[in-house]
A and B are shown apart, each in its own frame.
Chain A
Amino acid sequence: DVKVTQSSRYLVKRTGEKVFLECVQDMDHENMFWYRQDPGLGLRLIYFSYDVKMKEKGDIPEGYSVSREKKERFSLILESASTNQTSMYLCASTTPLAYLPFFGEGSRLTVL
């Protein structure tokens, strides 16, 4: 079974703090993704990576950065958290060929 693990399920941070969300997958998938999910807006793509050290902006990259130093690990960074970044953050990796996404458990971030 595909296993995608996110480091933190629930986080509470203050405005201006740096936030680091980590995601690890154990299936040797090349493609990894970070989404945020908000009520009524569905899943929106923040960044994705198709190889180590490679990254591409998704639909809403502003205020975020990412890091992929190892194939299995994809990190999302909020350099200076803001209240409008309060959301559920979902990491996913996709299978080769069919590009079928598998999600981590999610990280619910609250910025006060």
Chain B
Amino acid sequence: GQSLEQPSEVTAVEGAIVQINCTYQTSGFYGLSWYQQHDGGAPTFLSYNALDGLEETGRFSSFLSRSDSYGYLLLQELQMKDSASYFCALSRSYQKVTFGTGTKLQVIP
């Protein structure tokens, strides 16, 4: 089956920049989206790429390269509250949304 691979854990310093990668092995999808999930909470939508390139939303940016089969989420000016899990998702059709394995981000002082 299709899968999206992400690093399981990332640690970064408050105020720094961190990049979370998502690699996939599929084609013919509508777009790649990113979600944030705090412990015990529900996933909240962060960003979406339908086309190749960079999408910027405040401190968060997301990038997609279909030719290289990967995307990433970039978090700038990290804050302690950014400590959470982040996962990517590929939308291929109405019933085929594939989710990444999730990356647990720890922001340290």
Q: Which residue of B lies closest to A101 (CB)?
A: B97
State which of B30, B45, B87, B102 has its C-beta within 8 Å of the C-beta of A99.
B30
Output the least CB separation between A45 and chain B (Å): 8
Q: Which residue of chain A is the closest to B48 with respect to CB atoms?
A: A100
Of B41, B43, B50, B99, most buried by chain A (CB within 10 Å of CB) is B43
| A: interface residue count bin | 20 to 34
Task: Please name all residues of chain A whose beta carbon is closer than 8 Å to the beta carbon of B30 when the two chains form the complex.
Answer: 97-99
Instruction: Give the shortest distance, in Å, between A98 (CB) and chain B (any CB).
Output: 5
Interface residues of A in 46-79 (CB under 8 A from B): 48, 50, 56
Main secondary structure of the interface of A (DSSP, over half): strand
Select from chain A the residue with minimum beta-carbon distance to B31.
A98
A46 to chain B, nearest CB (A): 13
Beyond the given A43-B87, A90-B42, A97-B30, please list 16 additional residue pairs across the A-B interface where CB-CB is below 8 A: A31-B94, A42-B101, A43-B99, A56-B95, A98-B30, A99-B30, A99-B92, A99-B93, A100-B48, A101-B89, A103-B35, A103-B43, A103-B45, A104-B42, A105-B41, A105-B42
Point out residues on B near A: beta carbons under 8 Å.
30-31, 33, 35, 40-45, 48, 50, 87, 89, 91-95, 97, 99-102
